[in-house]
Chains A and B, each alone.
Chain A
Amino acid sequence: MIDRLADPTSASWYEASARARIDGLLDAGGFREFVGPEQRRMSPHLPLFDLPRAFDDGMVVGEGILDGRPVLVAAQEGRFMGGAFGEVHGAKLVGLLRAARQRKPAAVLILFDTGGVRLQEANAGETAIAEVMRAIAEVRALGVPVIGLIGGRAGAYGGGGLIAGTCSRLAVSESGRISVSGPEVIETNRGAEEFDSRDRALVWRTMGGKHRRLTGGADAFADDTVAAFRAAALNLIGRAPAFDLATLEAEQARLEQRLARFGDCREATEIWSRLGVNDPAAVPATTASAFDALLSGLGETTHDAR
């Protein structure tokens, strides 16, 4: 039941479907899907709006093997309704996380690709977001790392951005974006002077993978390949912090320090400059390896918080 990638080493994460990402991420042949498309658990709400449904409601969940160890995995299909959280879509992720409490896998991997809550079934979607965040806290409290991988076309927005914030660790690529309100939402509410959603360079340097990595919002920066995300996931599982009071207090302190240090900045490049980046304007064009070299010269982007 899986899309095959011709070559996972070079295949683009951004371009791959949710099923192809799972196929390239996990060890070959070990994925077993829960509530697969043949069960036809589709949205009960979309027909009311005369909108087409998907057999998996845009969420693929199941179990597999990553580098010889059992993991649970969830992948959003960003091309179906922007990967948005509907009732079934959200319930599948909640169910997977609750299963993780019993199974205690080596990790839970969430392959984000979402614009947030699906507006046609918003109450169910909002409820699912809250349930997912609670379930992640419970899974982490049992010592199971929850790793978020963000590099799809829809990014991780709205409730997806909130959920990402509750994960143990996040890996993000250049094209991955993490935020709550999307560019168009900000522009609609506050005007183009506040945020010009058509300025793609502005969008990426404010919400994109490099900025999130530089400010400690994401913990690994990956090339846009399935192989790079697999390597990042393996690395992050080994570096997941404990989920205890000390970690939460460290996160609170980190965020307070960030606000005090950068709160008056008007532009992401100002923040990068204050972090010690010599040529902020050149950051968006740097390759992943050059970016990693840049990061290693800056102390505070890697932390024990979250």
Chain B
Amino acid sequence: MEKLSFRHATPGPLPGRKSQAITGVVASGNLEILLERVLEPTVCTVEIETPIRGYGDVWEAVIADFVARARPGGLRITINDGGARPDTVSLRLLQGARLMEV
């Protein structure tokens, strides 16, 4: 199991007041994402556990792109990966951010 961890600065809090959300399932080609509004509004962290080793660069790029698009300030995001492709990861992250915005 490879563990990855990223920390990004964000301009401000993600809109909405939902304190936590979960989306996706740990299955082949899928992943689950837990989002918790527990950090300072100028920080977003993403922790990943994946059985597929050696794709740290891809994860880094996908997470950076997500942070730039969603501006998920204040979120602690934790991912259990089941071998999802980068496009699936990206869609699930955006879906998770949307769930937190209600």
Do they bind each other?
A: yes
Residues of B within 8 A of A37 (CB): 22, 34
User: Bound complex: CA of A150 vs CA of B26, how far in Å?
Assistant: 21
A-B contact count (CB 8 A): 43
Contact of A3 among B23, B50, B82 (CB under 8 A): B23
Chain B 1-15, CB within 8 Å of chain A: the 1/0 string? 100000000000000
Is B16 interfacial (CB-CB < 8 Å)?
no
Bound-state Cα–Cα, A47 to B80, Å: 12
User: What is the CB-to-nearest-CB distance from B37 to chain A, in angstroms, rounded to a whole number?
Assistant: 11
Whether B42 sits at the interface, judged by CB under 8 Å, is: no
Return the contact of B22 from the options A47, A52, A55 (Cβ within 8 A). Answer: A55
Residue count of chain A within 8 Å CB distance of chain B: 17
Q: B58 to chain A: which residues have CB within 8 Å?
A: none
Flag if B32 contacts A54 (CB, 8 Å): yes
Interface string of A34-69 (1 = CB under 8 A from B): 000110100000010011111100000000000000
A225 CB-CB contact with B under 8 Å: no
Residues of chain A lying within 8 A (CB to CB) of residue B20 = 1, 38
- B80 close to A55 (CB less than 8 A): yes
The minimal Cβ–Cβ distance linking B74 to chain A, given in whole angstroms, is 15
**Complex Cα–Cα for A49 and B93 (A):** 27
Residue among A38, A40, A52 with max Cβ neighbours from chain B (10 Å): A52
In Å, the complex CA distance between A3 and B51 comes to 25
In the assembled complex, A269 has its CB within 8 A of some CB on chain B: no
* A residues less than 8 Å from B49 (CB atoms): 52-53
Q: Is the interface of B mostly helix, strand, loop or mixed?
A: strand
Answer yes or no: A254 CB below 8 A from chain B CBs.
no
CA distance A5 to B30 in the complex (A): 19
**B27 and A53 contact, CB distance less than 8 A:** no
Given A37-B34, A47-B1, A79-B30, decide whether A54 and B25 contact each other with a Cβ distance below 8 A.
yes
Q: Are A77 and B25 in contact (CB under 8 A)?
A: yes
Contact A55 B25, CB 8 Å, known A1-B20, A50-B1, A50-B51: no
CA distance A3 to B49 in the complex (A): 22
Q: How far is the CB of A81 from chain B (nearest CB, A)?
A: 8
Contact partners of A77 in chain B: CB under 8 A? 25
For residue B26, which residue of chain A has the nearest CB?
Answer: A54
State A243–B99 Cα separation when bound (angstroms).
Answer: 43
Which residues of B50-102 have CB atoms within 8 Å of chain A's CB atoms?
50-51, 78, 80-82
Q: Which residues of B contact A38 (CB under 8 A)?
A: 20, 34, 36
Kindly provide the distance from the CB of A43 to the nearest chain B CB, expressed in whole angstroms. Answer: 11
**A17 within 8 A of partner (CB):** yes
In the A-B complex, list the 7 residue pairs whose CB atoms are closest, starting with the nearest.
A79-B27, A54-B26, A79-B25, A37-B22, A80-B26, A52-B26, A52-B51
6 sample A-B contacts, Cβ–Cβ < 8 Å, listed by A number: A1-B20, A37-B34, A38-B36, A54-B25, A79-B27, A79-B30
